[in-house]
Amino acid sequence: QKEVEQDPGPLSVPEGAIVSLNCTYSNSAFQYFMWYRQYSRKGPELLMYTYSSGNKEDGRFTAQVDKSSKYISLFIRDSQPSDSATYLCAMSTGQGAQKLVFGQGTRLTINP
């Protein structure tokens, strides 16, 4: 069993839809949770960064962490074609980036 599981998709939705991206994990020691967005043939960029459980909102993006279920989510409201990218979850126990564990990424397409 992989330490972090992420549905690879692909996921295709119409413009304006609410998108839900998810990751599950097995290591209960994870405390830092991140979402990266990666456009085709580009490097990932940090989108959301949360510590422990709870929600964090930034514009159209909401990151949710449920440590009791070992489940994290990224919600995108009013999705735009420019949101089309691969979304990677990543998590860490707090011992530095060298301990980050990445999901395999979900490829998302927003159709105009």
Partner 1 sequence: DGGITQSPKYLFRKEGQNVTLSCEQNLNHDAMYWYRQDPGQGLRLIYYSQIVNDFQKGDIAEGYSVSREKKESFPLTVTSAQKNPTAFYLCASSMSGHNEKLFFGSGTQLSVL
18 or 29: whose CB is closer to partner 1?
Answer: 29
Contact set for partner 1, span 31-70 (CB under 8 A): 32, 34, 41-46, 49
For the CB of residue 108, give the shortest distance to partner 1 in the complex, in Å.
14
13 binds partner 1 (CB under 8 A): no
Classified as helix, coil or strand, 97 is: helix
Please state, in angstroms and rounded to a whole number, the distance separating the CA atoms of residues 46 and 11: 20
Return the closest-CA partner of residue 76 out of 19, 33, 37: 19
Q: Given candidates 48, 63, 88, 110, which one binds partner 1 under the rule CB under 8 A?
A: 88
92 binds partner 1 (CB under 8 A): yes
Output the CA–CA distances (angstroms, integers) from residue 81 to 3, 14, 40, 53, 104, in the order listed: 31, 9, 14, 30, 22
> Strands 45-51, 32-38: parallel, antiparallel or unpaired by DSSP?
antiparallel
- Tell me how many residues contact partner 1 (CB under 8 A): 26
Binding site residues, partner 1, CB under 8 A: 4, 6, 8, 32, 34, 41-46, 49, 88, 90, 92, 94-98, 100-105
